[in-house]
Amino acid sequence: MPQRKPVIKPAKQAIAPGISLVALLVIAGYALLGPTGVLAWGDYRQRLEVQKVELARLRDQRDALRNRVKLLDPRAVDPDLVSELVRRDLNVAHPDEIIVPLK
């Protein structure tokens, strides 16, 4: 009569590879579906394009402000800009000017 081999021994031997396989599947799933996974790359690309447009707009705004500050430099003030600021902020006009309200 043939002897039966115990079932417990192969089951114990399969525990470590089984746990390793489950861990590998969890890591692979996280790499695909996680917040920094492969499927999130499309969203990152879209957000990157939006941020590039915003960066270009902010750089243009910074350059405009830098130019305005340069024109207001006390060592070499631009007379046209000073005249514009005085008229706008202080409501000052020359005696021979005619003011036409636009509103």
Domain contains 5: no
**pLDDT value at residue 62:** 98
pLDDT at residue 43 in the model: 86
Q: Give the number of domains in the chain.
A: 1
pLDDT at 3 over 80: no
- Per-residue pLDDT, 25: 94
The answer to the question of residue 40 being in a domain is yes
pLDDT, tens only, 67-94? 988 888 888 888 888 888 888 888 888 8
Rounded average pLDDT over 10-18: 81
Asked whether residue 21 is assigned to any structural domain, the reply reads: yes
> Is residue 25 domain-resident?
yes
Does 6 fall in a domain?
no
> What's the sign of the alpha-carbon dihedral 7, 9, 14, 16?
positive
Extract the tokens encoding 28.
Answer: 């692979």
Q: Is 20 exposed, middle or buried (0-12, 13-18, 19+ CB in 10 A)?
A: exposed
pLDDT tens, residue by residue, 28-71: 988 888 888 878 888 889 999 999 999 999 999 999 999 988 88
Residue 96 domain flag? no
Query: 25: domain range?
Result: 12-90
pTM: 0.54
